[in-house]
Structure 1
Amino acid sequence: MGAGRRGLITAAVTVVCAVTVLAVPGTAFASPGPIPSPSASASATAASDPDLEAVREKLDGLYRAAAVATDEYNAAEEKARKQSAEIVRLAKKTAEGREELAGLRDRAGVAARAQYRAGGMPPEAYLMLGDDPQDFLDGTRRVRQGQHATKGLLGELTRAQEDLEQYAKDAAAQWRRLEAGRKAKAAAQKKIEKRIAAAEKLESELAKEERERLAELERRAAQRAQTAWLDSGVLDEVTGKASERGRKAVEYALAQTGKPYRWGAEGPKAYDCSGLTSQAWAAAGRDVPRTSQQQWKQLERVDVQDMRPGDLVLYFDDASHVGMYIGDGSIVHAPRPGRAVTVTGAGSMPILGVVRPDA
């Protein structure tokens, strides 16, 4: 990609992101794309304000910690859904097993009564009292068949009882896992709320002018990261076009711009980062893991140079944030608490890698 095209991309992302940033104060976790270089006087102001830069870094750390805890919460929530579904399945199997066992017991009772009625007379007596030896032999065969059938019936009874016992053990294990998951989810929720409350308190203590300068610091940090990413030539060979499903996923995600971030949310009124990407791909007909970390672990990875619109871009070493690539060096994502779904430069945060849901 030449310098001219990069300039066009820079301008396009700047227009979209500048509007969002002016509307809502943010952090580098939701950085906008490149903007025109700040004036020398603004640079001097920022350089003379190291305390505010420290605040920016602290806010980034708090919101990133909240993002990690949100992934923990979402993972626990997803496990709880699966475990609840498994408990329902086991309850259904248990009910069916009890019905089967009752039927088998009825059949066993009939067989036992029949054998009891015939059991008082030995086979030799039937031979002596019968007029036709062939009838005796036929009867003997029927007796043997009945004995085999009874033996098989007893085997079915044993198997049905063992199945019921196993269902009960499995259900108990699932309940234990579900309870452990609830505790994990509650612990993650406390972490999230604690980090967000600390960040909000920190921001609330700033004067209006300081908040404006903080927003400027954030924009500049994003600008530096995105510009460096573009200047590296990483997009020079990116020519991939969206698949049909990828196009639908991008359309869905872009249609959510302006909706607020809320941790644990999967729409339609609010989203967290992986809630947006998972729902966008669900709308395109492809189920993907719920959390950003599982998306990174389970989906097929592609080189940045090979990415195409619809691919998911994972950020930070722990894959605690995710956005959807939409082309021209940009992503759409749900940034963090206090912000809305927006478009930003794909290189405005440290990229871990790219995955493709419809590989």
Structure 2
Amino acid sequence: MSGRLLRWACTGSALTALTTLATLAPPATHAAPGPGPGPGDRPVAELLTDLQRLYRQAEESTETYNTTDEKLKARRREAADLERRLDTARASAGASRSAAGRLARQQYQNGSVAIPAYVRLLLARDPQGALDQRHVLRRASADRAATVNRLVADERRARELAERARRALAAQESLARRQKQARDSVRARLKEVEELLASLTPEQLAALGRAEDDGATRAQREFVASGALGAPGARRAPSERGARALRYAVEQIGKPYVWGAEGPSAYDCSGLTQRAWRVGGRGIPRTSQEQWARLPRVPLRELRPGDLVVYFPRATHVALYLGDGLVVHAPRPGARVKVSPVGANPVRGAVRPDPGGPVAEEWRPPRLPDGAREGTDTGWSG
């Protein structure tokens, strides 16, 4: 993200900051018509559609980046484990090789033609002693065979682990290239967002902000009126873990959205939900798509605080349900962690990280800080 967009992020939503600027700026004079229609001639609805498209593309790239990053971390752990096991196998093979070498030297030094055991028994003055010696020789022979077999097994294990380590490294390098491509794609999309916003007049920015706010308000009203949340005023207590997760999320209000961030100073949407539930005592997947795919689903009518609300057809945004039709989430670049209406974005469904967890007793919603609802409500529009 460029310096200008970061500066906007430091003071709140890019749209909110620029909308405020528009209310202070004098009316702009219209320039003479240029060779073709520029951003100043385009309808606000069209500009908002373009802005949302760019945000959607950035989010898809961010999800790819996060997914690849998780796979890369797993591959690195696997490669490190294979290296440790390979070191152990090589050390064991070396010890077996030394033992086999000693046996070879002993056999060379005692290389006279062996007298068959039954002949030694017939010539022995002490037949019982000869029988005991024969037993010892058999045991020694078995030990030699075991040493050779151990050497063969150790060498085979070392070769197999070396090949697995080579494949793991190759996969790691491939993932690193894919991660770089996803990172570059995010940066390109966000640069386009910045360039679009920078090309607009203060009047357009103000109108864009109003259109976005109006759309979020209308979406929330329609969502509640649909009865998706069940009976009006229904209140449910969270689980004990959900309560801890939600308290943590509320404590993060005001911190900036940064793509790929997992806290504690900044978050993207799924980075916030994952860390909040980790603090709550339950590990969940890293990305919103994996959270939707792998966590138990819960009907929206049964939502309780701490549940995760997932948005958009591709499950590219996620928030923690606060209760009373509100969520806590990290909306998008240029915005900060905040409280928004649950229906401000198209709801995909909800999941519950700990469906069997004990319910928190004497539950009281966490106190919201001042300004908790300021800034953009919409996340990644699709």
TM-score using structure 1 length: 0.84
Alpha-carbon displacement from aligned partner over 1:142-179 (angstroms, at most 9, x marks no partner): 22222222222222111111111111111111111111
Aligned match of 1:121: 114
Q: Specify whether residues 208 and 26 from structure 1 end up closer, same or farther in structure 2 by C-alpha distance, changes over 3 A only.
A: closer
1:67 pairs with 2:53: no
Specify the code of the residue in structure 1 equivalent to 2:95: G
More helix by share: 1
In 1, Cα distance between equivalents of 2:125 and 2:74: 68
Q: Could you say what secondary structure the match of 2:206 adopts?
A: helix
| CA drift at 1:119 | 5.9
| CA drift at 1:246 | 0.3
Aligned match of 1:195: 189
Q: Is the 8 A contact 1:26 1:218 kept in 2?
A: no
Q: Could you say what secondary structure the match of 2:228 adopts?
A: coil
Q: Is the 8 A contact 1:226 1:348 kept in 2?
A: yes
Identity %: 38
Alpha-carbon displacement from aligned partner over 1:203-258 (angstroms, at most 9, x marks no partner): 11111122111111111000010000111122234543210100011011111111
Aligned match of 2:253: 257
Alpha-carbon displacement from aligned partner over 1:52-108 (angstroms, at most 9, x marks no partner): 111111111110110111010011111111111111111111111111112212222
Specify the code of the residue in structure 2 equivalent to 1:132: D
In 2, Cα distance between equivalents of 1:119 and 1:330: 91
1:352 pairs with 2:332: no
Specify the code of the residue in structure 1 equivalent to 2:151: L
How many positions carry a matched residue from both structures?
318
| CA drift at 1:308 | 1.2
Q: Is the 8 A contact 2:15 2:205 kept in 1?
A: no
| CA drift at 1:115 | 4.4
Equivalent of 1:306 in 296, 302, 308 = 302
C-alpha RMSD of the superposition: 2.0
Which stretches of structure 1, 4 residues or more, deviate above 3 A after TM superposition? 110-116, 237-240
1:77 pairs with 2:69: yes
Aligned match of 1:148: 142
Matches within 5 A, 1:1-359: 24-26=13-15, 51-116=43-108, 117=110, 120-122=113-115, 123-237=117-231, 239-359=235-355
Aligned match of 2:373: none
Alpha-carbon displacement from aligned partner over 1:182-201 (angstroms, at most 9, x marks no partner): 11111111211111111111
Where structure 1 has 5 or more consecutive residues not aligned to the other structure, the ranges are 1-19, 28-48
Q: Specify whether residues 126 and 249 from structure 1 end up closer, same or farther in structure 2 by C-alpha distance, changes over 3 A only.
A: same
Q: Could you say what secondary structure the match of 2:333 adopts?
A: coil
Specify the code of the residue in structure 1 equivalent to 2:257: Y
In 1, Cα distance between equivalents of 2:138 and 2:118: 15
| CA drift at 1:114 | 4.2
Q: Is the 8 A contact 2:228 2:300 kept in 1?
A: yes
In 1, Cα distance between equivalents of 2:111 and 2:124: 15
Specify the code of the residue in structure 2 equivalent to 1:97: A
In 2, Cα distance between equivalents of 1:157 and 1:240: 64
Specify the code of the residue in structure 2 equivalent to 1:120: V
Q: Specify whether residues 74 and 119 from structure 1 end up closer, same or farther in structure 2 by C-alpha distance, changes over 3 A only.
A: farther
Specify the code of the residue in structure 2 equivalent to 1:59: L
Q: Specify whether residues 147 and 23 from structure 1 end up closer, same or farther in structure 2 by C-alpha distance, changes over 3 A only.
A: closer
TM-score using structure 2 length: 0.79
Q: Could you say what secondary structure the match of 1:314 adopts?
A: strand
Q: Could you say what secondary structure the match of 1:301 adopts?
A: coil
Q: Is the 8 A contact 1:101 1:157 kept in 2?
A: yes
Q: Specify whether residues 199 and 216 from structure 1 end up closer, same or farther in structure 2 by C-alpha distance, changes over 3 A only.
A: same
Q: Is the 8 A contact 2:269 2:329 kept in 1?
A: yes
Q: Could you say what secondary structure the match of 1:288 adopts?
A: coil
Q: Is the 8 A contact 1:253 1:276 kept in 2?
A: yes
In 2, Cα distance between equivalents of 1:223 and 1:138: 96
